[in-house]
Each structure stands twice: as C-alpha cells, then as structure tokens.
C-alpha cells in the first residue's frame, strides 16, 4: 500500500498546479479518483459519488418517515423568506419563488430584496405576481417591510436567488422553539451533480475558521428580528452577503450566538455561482484593513496569515527516550528549515540509557542548540510535558513528538499566529506519514466510540470533505504530536492530565477542556510536517500496556461522553465507522438530533 501511495504521489507531483485545480473542479474526475484509490486500498472506506447518492436517497426517505411522526406538533412561529436577488437574471428569482410555492406550509411573508437602484430591472412576469414584496434598499428598509407585513417579532430566512427550498423547509422552521428563533443560525444544503445525483453538504456547528477560508455558509441563514437592521448585512454584496455577514459577526466577537440546524433545507443548483473573488475582497477589507492578518488565495480557498508582531518566544518541548536518529532528524529539520526566528528547543530525556544517545543529547546542549532536561521517572507523556513547562521561558508552548520532521518552513509562523488569537486554544498541524498520506488533520470525536483522526490516509493534496483537509478550520481537538498553545491558557486549565491519561488521549482531553473554557481549537492546514507515528514509544503489545490503554479509553468515554456522542465539529448524519466523512447508514442516525439547534 505504501508503494502504491508513493507512486501515486510521484505522478501527481508532476501535474502542474493549474491543471490540478481544473481536475479537482470536475465531479467526474473526483469520483474516478476516489474509486481508484479505494480499489488500491490507499484510503479505504471513502464512498464513491454513486454510493453517496444512494445513501443520501435512503437518508431522505428515512427523514420523511421520521418527520411524518411529528405531524401533530403545532407549527406556530411566523416565518418570512427573504430572497437576495440577482437582478441580472430573473430566471433565478423565478426558480426560487416556484420552490416556495411548493412548500407544505406557506411562509407568512416572501420578500425579494435588492439594491435601491434596481427596481426598474424587475421583469413584468415577476412584478405582476402578488406572491412577494419587493424591497429596494438597505437592511432598515427590509426590516420596515417585514414589520409592516408580519409584525415586529418575525425574523427572516435568507437565501440567494436561484436557491430552492426543500418542500418541508418552512414547516421545519416554524416548528422550532421561540428561543431558537431568537438566534442566528444556518442550515445544511445539497446540490445536484453533473449526472443528476443529489449530494448533501453536511456542515459542522459554527466554524469561524472554515468560514474565513472557504465561505462554507453561503445561504440558508436565519436572522431574528433583532438582527434585521444590522449594519453587518449589506444587500449590495449580492450572493456573497450572507457569507460576509457571518465573517463580520465573528470579527465583532459575536460568534457564540451563531448556531446550526443540522438539516438540509436548501438546494443549491450548480448553475448558481458564488463570487469567491468578491468574498475574498470583503474578508480583505475586514481583516487586512484592521491590521489583523494578511491574505493569500490558493485555488478556491483563502489562506489567512494572522499577524505576529512582536514575535513571542516559543518553547518547543520534545520528550524522548534514546532514539538518537529520530531526535537528530527532528532537531535538524527545525533548525535548518524553520523561518520563525524566536524559539528555544527543550529536549526532555526520559530514562535514556543508550550512552551514544546521552552523549549526543549532551553535545547538543553544550553547543547551545537546545536546553536538556532529565525526567528519570516511568514514561508519562502528560507528566513529562507538565514538568518541561515549568522550566521553559516562552509565552507560547509547542509540544512536539521526537518523531516529527518539519516540511513547510513557515509552519511555526502560521501556528503562532493562530495561538496568539484570544479565542483560540490548541493549534494543530497537518501531519503526514513518510509516504505523504495524511496521519493527522484534526481529531473527530466518536470514531470507534472514542476519537480518531479526520481524513486519515488521504493523499496529502486532497481537498477533503468540504475542503476541510486543504483549508484551515476548527475541530474539537488536535494532536499534541505537534501542538501550539499559549502558556497562560495551558496553565489556566491545569495542563495535561497526568493522573488519568499518562499516554493516550491526553491531548484530546486538553483540547476539550480548552473548549469547555470557551476557546476553540484549530487545525492549521498550512503547517505541514512528517510524523513517524509512535516509533519511539512502540506498540501497545503487553498486557500491562493494554490495561493502561483500556483505562484511558474508559476515562475518555466517561469524561467526554456528550462530545463523543455528538461532536459539534462533525455532523450526526456522517458515519463514525471510518475517517472518510462518508454518509451514515440511515438506521444509525438519531433524527431527533437533526431538528435541534447546536
């Protein structure tokens, strides 16, 4: 399998980047690629396009059956649908209005909203219908119209012209509790592929970094009445208005009020375009003009380089027992490749008994390459790192395994930029096996009943589900094989749990406690390193090790059962049987979880 992956990687490395982007944009090419990789066993468990379409059809059937049982519940909330218009193409508006007309429950108001100078561009066929109100003006004009039509307490469900509502969309919105409708929330979408197959986009709960890098939420946004007059909503931005509204909401430190209804309520036809360039310009105005970050475009995503000025001292902590060759590769790669200038290396020797290794470690310390600490107690990853933190100088901590090898020179610069953000806890990296398949790109809770690595075994350059492999985004946890965190945040939650998690899951537990403290963890896709996983520690191959590991699994399940059952960075309709983000079997989905905000 490794040879196959190396061969495929070698072939792909010869393809020009421009051609790669063209190939990635083709649904047929992606489907063929997945099929070939699955047959070769390079990353098994990833469904083909046809398999996904079949599973989704079964999920929709199951959804209809389950929701039919809710029939007696009174749907009393007032719902207004607001269409952000495209005056240049009234066919889009017509299509959206037709889908509203087919709703099982009609909305209390339908508003077509456009810029103030666009009223004359309404075609006679559209303007003569009484099915909607036309608003040409800003957010205040929109709020005034909704107030006149349905009252002051009615919010709006915003979609773009060309989008189509599912037949039960208004019904499902009207069933939500009053408290839910006082929040900003978004819904899931689906789209029709080249062969006519339906494919869902199952979004995570609010994920600001994914929004910044990919604009994953572009339609299907509920705004309560209190938000309708917000200056953050700008109709002149057209189809990009919803995505940019969420960016501005986040940057004003209001991200905690944004929620997610994990239910497909909107269909996005492939023919409806999204102006990624215009979105990027809007993000640029919000971030770069404020001096917060620099932006770069790569394919169909944004790379956000958060400013690091002044550059804080980063303490890179590397535990090891012997393993001279691994340590040499790790240290040499840091020293020769890392462009970030202000760091110290702390090597923690844990019961090293190989004289050659001990001599080499001492020589590195004598040359001033690193600071050498000795921890002569039984191996306990948590205790070793907690011990090291008490001896470092840096305000930012970087935890590295001794089997890490730097690939991207700016890895530390990108990760420090994230670590310094006030709302960020742990920062993880893209870690690769030596054959360039993915070992770590964020941790998903629930895999195998515990936790697992997202997109494991995927090729290095794959986009991943919703671009979550190629783009920086938030996960509930990241691995401490390469993790950055500000020292004050680490110490505020008590560091690693050395009593219950000596070896496994200590990084997951740390990240979840950071989340519990109100912070988010981020997978930094721009930081790329090799990870020769667990070479130095070895396998769980003795009865004692297996007992210890099972105890750590049991602790994780007991302590974090609620997150394992419903990881907010994942989706209840996706499978937990493998790391490929495939759709779950309909019978395994808790459909009650799909009709509640999270």
Both structure tokens of 32? 């063929």
Asked whether the beta carbons of 523 and 414 are under 8 A apart, the reply is: no
Q: What is the pTM of this model?
A: 0.90
| Position 127 pLDDT exceeds 50 | no
Mapped onto helix, strand or coil, the DSSP state of residue 269 is coil
Model confidence pLDDT, tens digit, residues 59-73: 999 888 887 776 655
Beta bridge partners of 400: 482
| Position 505 pLDDT exceeds 90 | yes
Which residue did the predictor score with more confidence, 286 or 189? 189
If pLDDT is split at 50, 70 and 90, which confidence band does 121 have? low
Predicted local confidence at residue 511, as pLDDT: 98
If pLDDT is split at 50, 70 and 90, which confidence band does 17 have? low
Both structure tokens of 402? 């001794």
**φ and ψ at residue 460, rounded to 5 degrees:** -55, -40
Q: What is the mean pLDDT of the chain?
A: 87
Model confidence pLDDT, tens digit, residues 177-212: 888 888 999 999 999 877 778 899 999 999 999 999
Predicted local confidence at residue 466, as pLDDT: 96
- Total residue count of the chain as it appears in this document: 598
| Position 538 pLDDT exceeds 70 | no
Predicted local confidence at residue 73, as pLDDT: 59
| Position 1 pLDDT exceeds 70 | no
Cα separations in angstroms, 408 against 8, 218, 340, 528, 575:
21, 31, 11, 5, 32
**What is the H or E stretch that residue 521 is in?**
strand 520-531
Q: Where are the alpha helices (DSSP H) in 427-486?
A: none
Distance CA 481, CA 535 (A): 12
| Position 80 pLDDT exceeds 60 | yes
DSSP 325: H
Distance CA 214, CA 251 (A): 16
Contacts 24+ apart (CB under 8 A), 502-505: 502/379, 502/380, 502/381, 502/382, 502/383, 502/548, 502/552, 503/379, 503/380, 503/381, 503/537, 503/548, 503/549, 503/552, 504/549, 504/552, 504/553, 505/450, 505/451, 505/552, 505/553, 505/555, 505/556
Cβ-count burial 474-500 (b if 16+ within 10 Å, e if not): bbbbbbbbbbbbbbebbeebebbbbeb
At a CB cut-off of 8 Å and minimum separation 6, what does 20 contact? 12, 461
Model confidence pLDDT, tens digit, residues 43-59: 556 677 788 888 999 99
Distance CA 520, CA 212 (A): 15
Task: Give me the domains of the chain, ranges plus CATH numbers.
Answer: 2-42 (no CATH), 71-290 (3.90.550.10), 314-425+479-557 (3.90.550.10)
If pLDDT is split at 50, 70 and 90, which confidence band does 289 have? confident
| Position 27 pLDDT exceeds 50 | no
Mapped onto helix, strand or coil, the DSSP state of residue 200 is strand
């Amino acid at each position: 399998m490794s040879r196959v992956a190396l061969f495929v990687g070698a072939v792909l490395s010869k393809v020009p980047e421009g051609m790669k982007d063209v190939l990635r944009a083709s649904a047929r090419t992606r489907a063929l690629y997945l099929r070939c990789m699955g047959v070769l066993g390079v990353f098994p468990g990833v469904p083909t396009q046809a398999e996904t379409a079949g599973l989704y059809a079964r999920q929709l059937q199951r959804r209809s059956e389950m929701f039919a049982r809710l029939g007696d519940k009174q749907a009393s909330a007032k719902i207004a649908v607001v269409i952000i218009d495209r005056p240049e193409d009234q066919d889009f508006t017509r299509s959206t209005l037709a889908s509203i007309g087919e709703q099982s429950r009609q909305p209390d108001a339908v508003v077509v909203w456009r810029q103030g100078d666009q009223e004359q561009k309404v075609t006679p066929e559209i303007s003569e219908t009484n099915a909607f109100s036309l608003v040409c003006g800003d957010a205040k004009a929109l709020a005034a119209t909704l107030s006149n039509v349905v009252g002051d307490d009615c919010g709006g469900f915003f979609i773009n012209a060309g989008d189509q509502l599912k037949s039960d969309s208004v019904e499902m919105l009207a069933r939500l509790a009053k408290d839910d409708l006082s929040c900003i929330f978004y819904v899931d979408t689906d789209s029709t592929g080249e062969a006519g197959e339906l494919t869902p986009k199952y979004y995570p709960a609010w994920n600001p970094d994914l929004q910044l890098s990919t604009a994953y939420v572009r339609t299907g946004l509920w705004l309560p009445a209190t938000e309708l007059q917000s200056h953050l909503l700008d109709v002149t931005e057209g189809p990009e208005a919803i995505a940019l509204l969420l960016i501005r909401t986040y940057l004003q430190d209001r991200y905690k009020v944004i929620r997610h209804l994990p239910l497909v309520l909107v269909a996005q036809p492939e023919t409806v375009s999204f102006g990624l360039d215009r979105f990027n310009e809007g993000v640029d105005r919000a971030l770069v003009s404020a001096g917060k970050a620099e932006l770069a475009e790569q394919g169909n995503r944004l790379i956000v380089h958060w400013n690091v000025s002044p550059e804080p001292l980063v303490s890179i902590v590397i535990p090891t027992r012997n393993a001279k060759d691994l340590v040499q590769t790790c240290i040499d790669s840091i020293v020769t490749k890392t462009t970030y200038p202000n760091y110290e290396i702390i090597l923690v020797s844990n019961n090293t008994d190989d004289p050659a290794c001990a001599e080499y470690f001492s020589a590195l310390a004598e040359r001033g390459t690193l600071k050498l600490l000795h921890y002569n107690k039984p191996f306990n990853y948590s205790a070793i790192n907690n011990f090291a933190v008490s001896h470092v100088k840096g305000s930012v901590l970087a935890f590295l395994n001794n089997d890490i090898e730097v690939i991207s020179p700016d890895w530390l610069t990108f990760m420090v930029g994230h670590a310094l953000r006030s709302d960020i806890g742990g920062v993880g990296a893209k870690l690769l096996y030596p054959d360039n398949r993915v070992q770590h790109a964020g941790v998903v809770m629930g895999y195998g009943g515990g936790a697992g690595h997202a997109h494991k075994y995927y090729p290095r350059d794959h986009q991943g589900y919703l671009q979550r492999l190629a783009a920086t985004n938030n996960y509930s946890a990241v691995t401490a094989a390469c993790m950055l965190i500000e020292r004050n945040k680490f110490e505020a939650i008590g560091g690693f749990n050395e009593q219950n998690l000596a070896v496994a899951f200590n990084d997951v537990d740390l990240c979840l406690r950071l989340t519990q403290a109100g912070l988010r963890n981020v997978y930094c896709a721009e930081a790329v390193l090799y990870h020769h996983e667990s070479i130095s520690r070895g396998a769980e191959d003795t009865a004692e090790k297996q007992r210890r590991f099972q105890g750590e699994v049991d602790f994780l399940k007991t302590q974090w059962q609620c997150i394992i059952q419903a990881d907010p960075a994942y989706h209840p309709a996706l499978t937990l049987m493998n790391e490929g983000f495939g759709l779950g079997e309909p019978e395994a989905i808790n459909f009650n979880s799909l009709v509640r905000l999270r």
